[in-house]
Structure formats: structure tokens, C-alpha cells
Amino acid sequence: MFLVDTHIHTCLSPCAELDMHPAALVDAAVRAGLDSIAVCDHNSAENVGAVQRAGNAAGLEVIPGMEITSSEEVHILGLLPDVEAAMALQSKVYRSLPGRNDESTFGMQVIANEFAEVLGFNEHLLAGATTLNVEAVVAAIHAVDGLAVASHVDREGFGIIGQLGFIPPTLPLDAIEVSQRMPLHSARASFAPKGEHPILCASDAHEPKDVARAATYILMERATLPELRRALAGEGGRTILGGGRPMEDLALHILDIAQNSLEAGAGTIEIEITENLRENLLTIVVRDNGRGMDPETVAKVTDPFFTTRTTRRVGMGLPLLGAAAKAAGGTLTIDSKPEQGTCIRATFQHGHLDRAPLGDIETTLMVLLAGQPERNICFRHRVEDREFELDSRDFRAADIDLASPAGLAVLREAIRRGEAGLVKNKASNG
């Protein structure tokens, strides 16, 4: 399982910050715990090679890409197999891109290397639209064996629905993308209720702090474009597990804590969400039988600069969850003993204006159960007197392989059915 941000700009894009040079971009991605990124500057790929070299040095997979503006002013991502394909596509885009950049109006378009050195400035009007319509853009991407993804379809400006009013049914898109503005479960209902297009979540980052503000969890063997292609097609057990806003949606806080439990050697993880609407209380409990912590470590784990994890340089999970609980009138408590496991409990005033959204429970459960089919993951979600339970042991007892396409489909349907029943309960109590 890999965490991927498929839409990031460098300082080459005129709307990006100048400190979004290749080295800074890679550093931000590694700090965020990403496994792979796609570099998608506006109408150009001249910084892709530098980001790949910086990524190779840091152990980060970098997929070449480009965000092309069609003649209708629709943004389409091209995710490409290699730098050579990116340069071939860039050549076609440049031939179809009229005008020259005016730095005083649109901003500088900096070509930089992996050492944060400026090599030059792109003179094309990268902020402009090409003369290629959406069909021609998608065809040009496919001609170099790339994947075509409609950018930020939830946005009015430059989104395909905002510009055209719909997604043409004959347009052979490989996926659609939603930004950090839209929760994934809302995107499914709004843009792909029948599963017509796979959905990717991406940050569209233009400055380092926004890298991984939205990302996608993907079940595949490597964080590469061929594997992503198979995941979008649902081939060979690869699949899009879900996505969202790590460290913002509460469901992804739960996922982060559970991943800590897995790294602590837990064989069993119990997750409980209780929504008591009458008492205006939301409670989240994550309990495990892992290595546990001594009192000194417990005292440190809410420090954002302390972590025992190897997948992220800075351990922001518990500090941010504590801040989210406090902002919503709640608390965070940690009960842990060496060799006896850990229990983390967070409370929130359910109706508080500053309470973070619960987010996409489906993503959290798909990542945990599909990514760790041999562990015992027990989930319980209560809303007043209605309850949804899911236990990985039940799937094993029924000989359902959660690593198989059929097993993944059964798991996804069980989650959606269970959570849908709770939504109805909340509506009736609202």
C-alpha cells in the first residue's frame, strides 16, 4: 500500500511559489510520508528531470507529468511513463501554446536543478491555454502512453465540469481528480455514483506546506506509473483504496494512529467511534496489544518533533489530533504500558463549529484491512442506538481473501452498506 500525491507544481509554474524548487518539493513530500509524487507543472515538464534526480537521492518515486490547459480552459493531467515521454508531449504542447510570458503579470517561470540552483526562465506563456481541445489533449497524452486525468473536477475554475458543464461520455479519461476541498465520499456521490471513473485525491500544491494536503492510498506492488495504471483498472489485486486529507479528517487521524500500532507490533487493533448526539459528544478510541510505551515516552508523543516511526521524519499525528480535540472542546488521553499495549482516546463536542469532519471511514478501513489482512482489525461505529461492526477475523473465517479483487469488492460493499445505515440514523436524529 502506497500514499501518492499525483498533482504537485514546481517553481516552473507561474502561480507556484519560488521556494517550490525540486529539492524543497522532494523534502516536503518525504516529510509528509509520501511514497510517490507526480510533478505536473502547467504546460511544461522542464523541471521533471531535476525532481526525479532529487527524488532518487531521497528514496521518493517521482512520476513525470504535466497539467495541460485545453482550448476550453480545462485542466487535464498527463501522468507519463518517463522523461522522454514528457519531453515528447511538451514539444506538442509548446507548438500549440501561443504567447510569451510577462513576468510582471503572471510571475516567473523558473527552471531549476536538484540543488536549488536557477538554470534559466521559461519564456512560454505557461499560464495560457493551448489550441488543443480536451479530446486532442487526452489523445496526445495517450499517444505517449500516459494516463489522462481530469484535474480538480470539484472546482469551478479550470475543472472540466465547471468549464463544459459535464464530462463528455466518450472522452477516454483514465481517472478524475478531486482537490483537498472535497471529501472523497462526497466526490463519489457527486461525480462517479456508478463508478464510471476512478477518483484520485491530490493536493495541487503550489507551495511546500501544501504538499500531501490531499493524497490517495493505492494498493499496488510499487509506487510506479505501470502499477498505478493497473490500480486504476482494478487489475491483479491492485486498486484505489481511497484518499483524503491526512491529518485533517478524523478518519485519517485514526488511520495514522492504527499505523503506529502496526509499527509497534500489534496483532489486534480495536477502533471505536461513538457519536452521542443527545449529549453532543463524539468519542474515538484506538486500542492495541502492541509493545506499549513507558511513562517517559507517553509524555513525549504529543511533541510534534518526537517520533519512533521510520515512515515520517516528524511525528505530527498525535499532536495534531490533540489540537483538533482541544479546538472542539474535547481532550486527548493516552494510556500505555510496556508490553501491555496502548489505548488512545479523543473526545470532541459533536456539534462544535471547529470540530474536524469525521471524513471517509471507507478509506481508513480499506487501507487497514486490505493492507494488513493477517492482523485482527476490529471496528465499531455507533450513532445513538444504531451500530456498525466490522472484524477482519470474520472475513478470514469465511475464506474471503481481502487481497483479491473479489475480496476487496466484498469489503468495500460491507463498509458502504454499514456506514450508509448510520448516516440515515444521524439524519433522523438531526
* Residue 428 in this model has a pLDDT that exceeds 60: no
User: Would you call 417 exposed, middle or buried from its count of C-beta atoms within 10 A (0-12, 13-18, 19+)?
Assistant: exposed
Distance from the Cα of residue 50 to its chain's centroid: 23
pLDDT tens digits along 326-381: 999 999 999 999 999 999 999 999 999 999 999 899 999 999 999 888 999 999 99
* φ/ψ of residue 336, rounded to 5: -150, 145
Give me the DSSP letters along 383-406: ETTEEEEEEHHHHHHTT--TTSHH
Domain check: are 299 and 375 in the same one? yes
Look at residues 244, 274, 298 and tell me which one is the last residue of a structural domain. Answer: 244
Domain check: are 344 and 196 in the same one? no
* DSSP strands (E only) in 126-214: 147-150, 175-178, 199-201
Partners of residue 80 on adjacent β-strands:
none
Domain check: are 240 and 272 in the same one? no
pLDDT tens digits along 412-424: 999 999 999 997 6
pLDDT mean over 40-61: 97
Q: Three cell numbers at 158?
A: 479550470
Mean pLDDT computed over every residue of the chain: 92
* Residue 250 in this model has a pLDDT that exceeds 70: yes
Domain check: are 230 and 272 in the same one? no
- For 364-395, b where at least 16 C-beta lie within 10 A, e where not — what string? bbbbbbbbbbebbbbbebbbeebebebebeeb
Task: Check which CATH number belongs to the domain holding 311 and give it.
Answer: 3.30.565
Task: Check which CATH number belongs to the domain holding 146 and give it.
Answer: 3.20.20.140
Domain check: are 49 and 110 in the same one? yes
pLDDT for position 315 = 39
Domain check: are 406 and 293 in the same one? yes
Domain check: are 200 and 333 in the same one? no
Q: Within a 10 A sphere around the Cβ of 109, how many other Cβ atoms?
A: 28
Contacts of 250 (CB under 8 A, 6+ apart): 284, 324, 348, 356, 357, 358, 359
Q: Three cell numbers at 104?
A: 510582471
Higher-confidence position of 63 and 312: 63
pLDDT tens digits along 139-196: 999 999 999 999 999 999 999 999 999 999 999 999 999 998 888 878 888 887 767 8
pLDDT for position 344 = 96
User: Would you call 195 exposed, middle or buried from its count of C-beta atoms within 10 A (0-12, 13-18, 19+)?
Assistant: exposed
**What does DSSP say about strands 36-42 and 61-69: parallel, antiparallel, or unpaired?**
parallel
Domain check: are 230 and 347 in the same one? no
Range of the domain at 148: 2-244
Q: Three cell numbers at 283?
A: 468519542
pLDDT tens digits along 287-322: 999 999 998 888 888 765 555 544 443 335 788 899
Domain check: are 31 and 176 in the same one? yes
The number of domains in the chain is 2
Residue 405 one-letter amino acid = P
* DSSP strands (E only) in 300-402: 332-337, 341-349, 376-383, 386-391
Look at residues 189, 210, 244 and tell me which one is the last residue of a structural domain. Answer: 244
Helix (H, G, I), strand (E, B) or coil at 417: helix
Q: Is the CB of residue 174 less than 8 Å from the CB of residue 142?
A: no
In 3-state terms, the chain is what percent helix, strand and coil (to 5)?
A: 35, 25, 40
Domain check: are 84 and 184 in the same one? yes
Domain check: are 264 and 168 in the same one? no
Q: Is the CB of residue 239 less than 8 Å from the CB of residue 405?
A: yes
pLDDT for position 210 = 95
Look at residues 191, 221, 244 and tell me which one is the last residue of a structural domain. Answer: 244
Q: Within a 10 A sphere around the Cβ of 128, how many other Cβ atoms?
A: 18
Q: What angle do CA 274, 277, 280 make, to 5 degrees?
A: 95
Domain check: are 240 and 254 in the same one? no
* φ/ψ of residue 149, rounded to 5: -130, 125
Q: Three cell numbers at 193?
A: 455514483
Give me the DSSP letters along 213-236: SSEEEEE-SSSSHHHHHHHHHT-T
